[in-house]
A and B are shown apart, each in its own frame.
Chain A
Amino acid sequence: MQWETVIGLEVHVQLATRSKIFSGASTAFGAEPNTQACAVDLGLPGALPVLNEQAVAMAVQFGLAVHADIAEVSVFDRKNYFYPDLPKGYQTSQMYHPIVGPGDVEITLEDGATKLIRIHHAHLEEDAGKSLHEDFHGMTGIDLNRAGTPLLEIVSEPDMRSAKEAAAYLKAIHSIVTYLGISDGNMAEGSMRCDVNVSVRPTGQEAFGTRAEIKNVNSFRFVERAIAFEVERQIELIEDGGSVVQETRLFDPDRDETRSMRTKEEANDYRYFPCPDLLPVVLDQAYLDHLRSQLPELPADKRERFQNELGLSAYDANVISASRDMAEFFEAVHNECGDAKQSANWVQGELSGALNRENLSIANSPISARQLGQLISRVLDNTINGKAAKEVFQALWNGQGESADDIIDAKGLKQVTDTGAIEAMIDQVIADSPAQVAQYRDSEPEKRGKMIGYFVGQVMKASRGTANPQQVNGLLKEKLDALL
């Protein structure tokens, strides 16, 4: 039987506010335990929440970026459950009247195809603290610094049909929130966390299968792996005559599997009700218009512009527009050298490779966009050849010079385009290689093209890589063929 996978995602995004959603405690990452947990965050008696205007603005910005309806009135509810990292005994969330209503996000797949994924809603809520289960004499340690950090929970419709689509959706959300600057999007630090709802159904069947919710899926790679495992598990289960139960499962990246946490029967009953400590949040049109006017150019718009106006391929445009830092770096390189295709190649190739090797983000690149742009200009105006350009790049990376021009001068990499100089080198190489010349002369004409490589290599070596390769090729062929 053919099976179809149905996936929906709940993405929790930590909003990059300075203070918490309902208190004036700092949200900075990495502080000493409990030094950023105030009376409100601790749920001490009498402490009252006051909503952070920036958290509201960020939620609205996200909503506008995904073409969503923004609720004129939204309401906070209490989600009641007991856990030590939630000292109030409830999480303040938005169950019935979320701030962001239905919207949509365009995802781009590897083959360049695009698909619209609908967003069901997004709501504001507070994060919980952290439980540390290491050895505290059989006790659990609680750090409440994270308690009260604003979260935007973005709930998709079950519109994804493969692990790849789910990963592309997560990347699209990541792009949008980092473009907007409403989150640092750092998945390793938990700034973006993801729960995945997965079910399977026979291809062609309209009704959804029973779904499992997978928690703890906290990287783009894990999303694909967790879904791949879960889909296989469900299909095997059904084909063996069993049935999927609605349950919460935990993804274990070390063992590459999902494990049952709790089934629906034991599911929590959260007894939501409107939070009496918080009044309805009312937003007017002028406020929304103001926020709309502040929106930056978003990834989808950039992608389109890179493709249509700068002539980049769909693939290049997609990769470069995915991160705002990379897109802006690329644009600065392009402004400097004027060649979009070359700029894209260098940013994605040499630069990204070097950054990955040293585990650096593009924002911390040792080479500035201006330096890279100037380097590309020197290739474009034939001052240096491609090989020398890589050497200049490396030198700039290592901080061996301020500009490409300095390094070209210092290392004597200026391309030799003087025909006379190149001819002299060729003559020398031919004189030094009688055996190879004889071989060339004696071989079939169609094989000579390949054999010329040896001579090109020798001439390039003699010029210490500075000769113009096209010229060397042309002149060599002339001279060798003259010997036939």
Chain B
Amino acid sequence: MALEESHVRRAAHLARLAVSDDQASGFVEDLSRILDMVDQLQSLDTEGVKPLAHPLDATQRLRADEVTESNQRDTFQRCAPAVENGLYLVPRVVE
């Protein structure tokens, strides 16, 4: 697949990554090579092969529905840049 710089910019935006112009052209090259490898994989015949959701041949263990966590708000909020009335404060977001 031919990757263009606009694709890189979009991916970077979605991931909230700051990418400079120099870096962007480099990423176009690197990512193109990765996509080439994906194309190679795509050419394999996977007819009848079930999609693999996880590399481990195991199934999810479940936990009992019990409250095991206590309130550790003060500890957690010690590393927050701003808190008030128990709330984490973040730059204003209005959708």
Contacts and interface: CB of A to CB of B under 8 A. Distances in A.
Contact of B59 (A18, A136, A282): A282
A25 B57 CA distance: 29
B87 interface: yes
Interface of B: 10, 14, 16, 51, 53-54, 56, 58-69, 71-73, 76-77, 82, 84-95
A18 B85 contact: no
Contact of A274 (B54, B63, B95): B54
A280 B65 contact: no
B86 A53 contact: no
A52 B62 contact: yes
Contacts of B90: 84, 139-140, 142
Given A50-B62, A141-B85, A279-B60, 6 more contacts: A23-B69, A24-B66, A25-B69, A35-B86, A51-B62, A133-B93
Given A53-B63, A279-B59, A282-B60, A142 B69 contact: no
Interface of A: 17-19, 23-26, 32-39, 42, 44, 50-56, 75, 80, 82-84, 96-97, 131-133, 136, 138-144, 261, 269, 271, 274, 276, 278-282
Given A56-B62, A279-B59, A34 B76 contact: yes
A274 B53 CA distance: 6
Contacts of A17: 65
A236 to B, nearest CB: 26
A25 B66 CA distance: 8
Contacts of B67: 18-19, 24-26
B16 A278 contact: no
Going nearest first, the 8 A-B pairs with the smallest beta carbon separation are A24-B68, A54-B65, A141-B87, A53-B62, A33-B86, A38-B69, A279-B60, A282-B59
A96 B65 CA distance: 26
Q: Which of B58, B69, B85 has the most CB of A within 10 A?
A: B69
Contact of B72 (A38, A97, A136, A140): A38
Contacts of A278: 54, 60
B76 to A, nearest CB: 6
A148 to B, nearest CB: 10
A54 B10 CA distance: 39
B84 A136 contact: yes
B76 A39 contact: yes
Given A35-B73, A274-B53, A143 B87 contact: yes
Nearest to A22: B63
Contacts of A282: 59-60
